[in-house]
Amino acid sequence: MQTTSLTLLHRLRASDEPEAWNRFVHLYSMGIYSWVRGQGLRHDDAADIVQDVFVTLMQKLPQFHHEGARSFRGWLWAITRNKCREWARRRKPVVVPADSLEQFEGQDDEPFWENDFRRHLIAQIASVIEPDYPPDVWRAFWKHAVEGKPASQVAAELRINLWSVYTAKARIVSRIQEEFGDLIAD
């Protein structure tokens, strides 16, 4: 995978970056799906709404500007919530009561399942970049950075030197920050 200093959001705006859209869909589709399913919608309806969200994103992304308190995920959440409302208005009878979405009014920037979404996003990022590293490097990174084990313990478990653990963590964390830092921090 080629690394770039451009953010994924900027790459999405370029018409000649289909790989950026593939990566974005891979990273965000399950998160959006879980947001929609959190509203009580069935699988098929949730999948349709996710597709509607991506269509809207393709149309509106050029107008989005990350400014101050306006986060990308807050904006994404607002689009998703609006698509859920549109779906609820089109249905008769309404399977999801329209007022069930009102409890989330004013939460455009911090949906109540933000932590779950962030964990999912990080797991998706890991699945994208893991194949780019040798298994021993990835295991050293994962045990130390994600599982929180001391570097000396990881070195002993994997039978590698301590410096290899620190190097694995530094390389992969740097890669994550370079390619995905703005999405994680958003």
Model pLDDT, residue 115 = 62
Question: Residue 131 to residues 26, 27, 85, 125, 142: CA-CA distances in angstroms?
Answer: 15, 15, 39, 11, 13
Model pLDDT, residue 68 = 58
Question: Taking a C-beta distance cutoff of 8 angstroms, is the pair 5, 178 a contact?
Answer: yes
Residue by residue, pLDDT tens for the chain (186 residues) are 333 234 677 777 766 677 878 888 888 888 888 888 877 778 888 888 888 898 888 888 777 766 655 577 778 888 888 888 888 877 754 444 445 445 444 444 444 456 666 666 777 788 788 889 999 999 999 898 888 899 999 999 999 998 989 888 888 888 887 776 666 554
Model pLDDT, residue 107 = 47
Q: Report pTM.
A: 0.52
Q: What angle do CA 176, 178, 180 make, to 5 degrees?
A: 55
Model pLDDT, residue 113 = 52
CA distance 57 to 76: 8
CA distance 152 to 134: 20
CATH code for the domain defined by 1-131: 1.10.1740.10
Assess whether the previous peptide bond of 134 is cis (omega < 30° from 0). no
